């Protein structure tokens, strides 16, 4: 299957899932997760009409960037953890950072964005399951973090994202549903005080149909679009 065919199939699946859920399909964006894949596949997806991309390492995207800098209409989001020493290049290279989970990172990003004369939309990454390998904010800390970030001049929190425990196949997608419901509840509860909080970045290749039923506004799809990822080269 070509990337163009995969894209078409995914768009159809998203459209049908929205129809079943009584949602307008313009409310769900498909993010192409191009991490680990060579930049040529990203260019192929763009040629097939894809505009929103997610990369999960700053360094990897910095290497790809010269090949995609001319794509004026493409948008690139960081969807992997952001180390302190990468804040400036991240603010430079990406249109949005979807994985902020501390005030310190938010402050650094706001300063970096100010120096670049831009305002960055960000998502807060929430940790809803106890696996200790995962990044993300404890949901109990969300209201205080939102209040603390509000005054920062060069970032705007536009939503929440989470990564539920790994599902190995679409048959296991139901296990993700309670995490999606939890994230949506957090967004809804905090929207009164923070009306810009509208986005829900939930759903990956195996569970995006469930995520759409639970209110996803962005599904982040890698394998189902680009095929299985090659393993990362050892450094
Ligand atoms: C890799 C990745 C994805 C895509 O996962 P697939 O299962 O390939 O669709 C989505 N979100 C994040 C944060 C990722 O790191």
For the segment 55-72, what is each residue's pLDDT rounded down to a tens digit? 999 999 999 999 999 999
Structure-token match 């430079």, residue found: 92
Say what the pLDDT of residue 167 is: 83
Atom 7, ligand 1: which residue's CA is nearest?
205
Q: 9-17 long-range contacts, Cβ below 8 Å, gap at least 24?
A: 10/221, 10/224, 10/225, 13/208, 13/209, 14/208, 14/212, 14/219, 17/208, 17/209, 17/212, 17/213
**92, 102, 105, 107: which is closest to 58 by C-alpha?**
92
What letter would DSSP give residue 80?
Answer: S
- Ligand 1 centroid, distance to 11 Cα (angstroms): 17
For the segment 101-140, what is each residue's pLDDT rounded down to a tens digit? 999 999 999 999 999 999 999 999 999 988 766 789 999 9
Asked if pLDDT for residue 222 goes beyond 60, the answer is yes
Say what the pLDDT of residue 25 is: 96
- Ligand 1 centroid, distance to 35 Cα (angstroms): 8
For residues 33 and 10, is the Cβ–Cβ distance under 8 A?
no
Residues with CB under 6 A from ligand 1: 33, 35, 56, 79-80, 163, 204-205, 220-224
What is the rounded CA–CA span in Å between residue 9 and residue 3? 10
Pocket test of ligand 1: the residue of 6, 10, 37, 56 to mutate, having most ligand atoms within 8 Å of its CB, is 56
Pocket test of ligand 1: the residue of 14, 54, 123, 202 to mutate, having most ligand atoms within 8 Å of its CB, is 54
What is the rounded CA–CA span in Å between residue 66 and residue 137? 33
Asked if pLDDT for residue 234 goes beyond 70, the answer is no
């Amino acid at each position: 299957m070509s990337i163009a065919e995969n894209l078409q199939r995914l768009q159809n699946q998203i459209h049908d899932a929205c129809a079943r859920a009584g949602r307008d399909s313009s409310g769900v964006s498909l993010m192409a997760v191009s991490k680990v894949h060579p930049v040529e596949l990203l260019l192929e997806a763009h040629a097939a009409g894809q505009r929103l991309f997610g990369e999960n390492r700053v360094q990897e995207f910095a290497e790809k960037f010269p090949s995609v800098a001319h794509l004026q209409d493409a948008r690139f989001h960081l969807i992997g953890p952001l180390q302190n020493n990468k804040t400036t290049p991240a603010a430079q290279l990406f249109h949005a950072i979807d994985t902020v989970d501390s005030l310190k990172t938010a402050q650094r990003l706001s300063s970096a964005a100010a120096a670049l004369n831009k305002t960055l939309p960000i998502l807060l990454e929430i940790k809803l399951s106890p696996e200790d390998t995962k990044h993300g904010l404890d949901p109990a800390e969300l209201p205080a973090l939102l209040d603390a970030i509000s005054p920062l001049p060069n970032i705007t929190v536009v939503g929440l994202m989470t990564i539920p425990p790994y599902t190995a196949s679409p048959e296991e997608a139901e296990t993700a549903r309670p995490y999606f419901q939890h994230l949506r509840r957090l967004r809804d509860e905090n929207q009164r005080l923070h009306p810009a909080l509208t986005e829900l970045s939930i759903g990956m290749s195996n569970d995006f149909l469930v995520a759409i039923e639970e209110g996803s506004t962005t599904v982040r799809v890698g394998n189902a679009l680009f095929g299985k990822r090659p393993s990362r080269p050892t450094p």
